[in-house]
Amino acid sequence: MTDLKKLSVIIPAYNAAKFLVKCVDGIANQTYENIEIVIVNNGSQDNTLELCEELKAKYNNREFKIINLNPNQGINWARRAGFENASGDYVTTIDSDDYIDLNAYARAIKVLEANDCDMVQFGHYEVYPDGRILEEHKCRPVKADNAHDAFKYFASVILNSATLLWDKVYKRSLFENLQWPKVSYTEDYCTDTQLFAKVQKFMSIDESFYYHTANPDSVCSRVLVNRQSIEDFITGSKFVTNFTAKAMPEFLPEILCYSVYINFSIIIGLITLYYPEDLCKIMSRDYKRMNSELKRQNRKLDMNPPLSSKLSRKQRVIMYLLANCPRLYYAYLKTRLTIKKLTGI
């Protein structure tokens, strides 16, 4: 055991008593032996904190840290507290309502060390709360030997799916001097953008280890339905755009394209006046900046499949109008809401 480098597993937990035992059992029983479990109780109002103490006593053969944040600081700052208190050579994170294959970390670290990587990524399953598999998300096997190639992979991933923090094992040194915007939506996006700009060797492997529970009460399931979610998106998107413009400007069009697409998805899905005018303006600005940057770089976006293929013809027309006439859509939305209020239709 002493020959194995230590892995710190960060678990942000908010009102997690219903799921926490299964999550921690999966970590404590990993075949990789040198593991430190770091649970960040993020202002829970149930018995999560008491359960943490019970699990610490149960698994006294594992290093176990409990960090108590009160009041709730949001998931991003909970993770920050976990990473700042981690003592492992390697780090990873897992959401408290998820669980992981018992061989996951042994396998990931074996790949990481055999290839002298700073970061290794694996696939995951979407599962129902009862354990039935909904969908598997495999990784395309990739090896990058510098930050430019790693960020190129990252940019391609966000255009076609999403970026996640919990589907990877990292060298802890990558987390030095990171910025942590206080957001609970786009938090993975903000962190992974910085990590992919720093990583020197990266691998993704065609194996799935992580089980992400489709939990209707989780933060991810409630995104974009309230004012705070939209504020978080605006804050996170601005942070990533500014960071990329300085650190990896050659990939700024991809970042702007992602912002445009998500903005568009939010706007057409809103039956509310939560920030639609601001979102329309942001989308218009990013759309024009994206095209200007592509023209300057004399290239097209390298996407597979193309972004336009995700949209119907009607949606493409609406996107064009939103990008070029944002106030027109805002006026339409106000009229639509007035009619609905008067007629109920």
Q: List pLDDT tens digits, range 120-137.
A: 999 999 999 888 999 999
For residue 276, is the peptide bond before it cis, meaning its omega torsion is within 30 degrees of 0?
A: no
pLDDT at 54: 96
> What average pLDDT score do residues 267-289 get?
74
> What average pLDDT score do residues 13-34 get?
95
Q: List pLDDT tens digits, range 235-247.
A: 999 999 999 999 9
For residue 305, is the peptide bond before it cis, meaning its omega torsion is within 30 degrees of 0?
A: yes
> What average pLDDT score do residues 337-342 get?
74
CATH class of 7-220: alpha beta
Report whether 93 contacts 145 (CB < 8 A).
Answer: no
pLDDT tier at 220, thresholds 50, 70, 90: very low
Q: Which of 42, 35, 36, 37 is nearest to 12 (CA)?
A: 42
What is the Cβ-side half-sphere exposure of residue 169, based on CA atoms within 13 angstroms? Answer: 28
The rounded distance, in Å, linking the Cα atoms of 58 and 92 is 22
pTM: 0.88
Token pair of 204, please? 């993704």
